[in-house]
Amino acid sequence: MSERLQPGDPAPAFTLPDADGNEISLADHLGRKVIVYFYPAALTPGCTKQACDFTDNLEVLATAGYDVIGVSPDKSEKLAKFREKEHLKVTLVGDPEKEVLEAYGAYGEKKLYGKTVTGVIRSTVIVDEEGKVERALYNVKATGHVAKIIKDLGI
């Protein structure tokens, strides 16, 4: 199982394809805070709720200086369908090799319906302007999570 990140750790660098196949790098966001959230699969109920919540609050977060990047193991084509179907405005990137998910501690053993399985651990990592982990939240709930982040960050 991958190590969970702690506040003060350098956020693992990444470059991943977005829904249009364009390369998106964490380094592109230096100088701004970034909310990197990890979700199991596009076009599923919980992940849809979470992505819609981020989209609905994107302007509030952006005004407060935060960019948002959603990471899943999905390929660009599925991310594009997800974005179009749900009218998402949040940046979605795919990590089919699960290397970034593992680097962020967002892939490993978890409980699902009482069974232990290996998969994506719904997580959110807030990266500061210098690329360091400000907060790392693991096993978060899809519903109400964005509102909690906004409240906890004092936005």
State the catalytic residues.
Answer: 47
Among residues 27, 28, 38, the alpha carbon closest in space to that of 93 is found at 38
Kindly state the tokens that stand for 57. 């609050």
